[in-house]
Amino acid sequence: EGEIILRAAARAQKATGVPISTHTWALERVGEQQVAIFKDEGVDLSRVYIGHSNDTTDVDYLVGLLRQGVWIGLDRYPGRPGMPTPDWEGRTATAKRLIDAGYGDRIMLSHDWAVNLVIMPRAAGAERAALNPDHYLFITRRVLPRLRELGVSARDVEKLNNDNPRRFLEGA
């Protein structure tokens, strides 16, 4: 079923030029399977965004994706308590390693925060808000300053936050 959807997305991308954004489970390296399908379909991989890639700190896996020409989404800030995934600081340290390795121009930051809000009971929503009182400002208030503390330049932060999403969506 997943493969059918990915192949359909690939064909739609080729027909229209729109970018593709995927959901993955990085701990099982699902992005590699997605890229293989897109390559098989002849998709322009510079128009593919492999999402949820910061659920792992496996830089070899992430660099392997980036070397294929795709973008990666470090888009699950601040993380999910109770899941076997890194906390926000581990995710941010991984972003720094990727930037240092020269891949800062193929990374986008985001959070997967609002998805459950409309289907959660109020008590669960309050618990969730307690885990992230910054809500949509988490990256602005915590991640970007932490990247600067780790030595990422202001220019690279600007790329992550503004230039990269624009370039991806414009097809540059």
Domains, the chain, with CATH or none: 2-170 (3.20.20.140)
The three-state secondary structure class of 58 is: coil
User: To 10 degrees, what angle do helices 30-41 and 59-67 make?
Assistant: 10
- The predicted pLDDT at position 114 comes to 62
> Is the preceding peptide bond at 19 cis, omega within 30 degrees of 0?
no
Contact between 23 and 53 under an 8 Å Cβ cutoff? The reply is no
- The predicted pLDDT at position 7 comes to 97
- The predicted pLDDT at position 108 comes to 96
pLDDT tens, the chain, 172 aa long: 799 999 999 999 999 999 999 999 999 999 999 999 999 999 999 999 999 999 999 999 999 999 999 999 998 888 877 778 889 999 999 999 999 999 999 999 998 766 555 566 667 667 777 777 888 889 999 999 999 999 999 999 999 999 999 999 998 5
Residue range 2-23, pLDDT digits in tens = 999 999 999 999 999 999 999 9
Ramachandran region, residue 29 (left: φ > 0; alpha: ψ -120 to 50; beta: rest): left
Q: Which residues contact 34 (CB under 8 A, 6 or more apart)?
A: 6, 22, 24, 48, 50
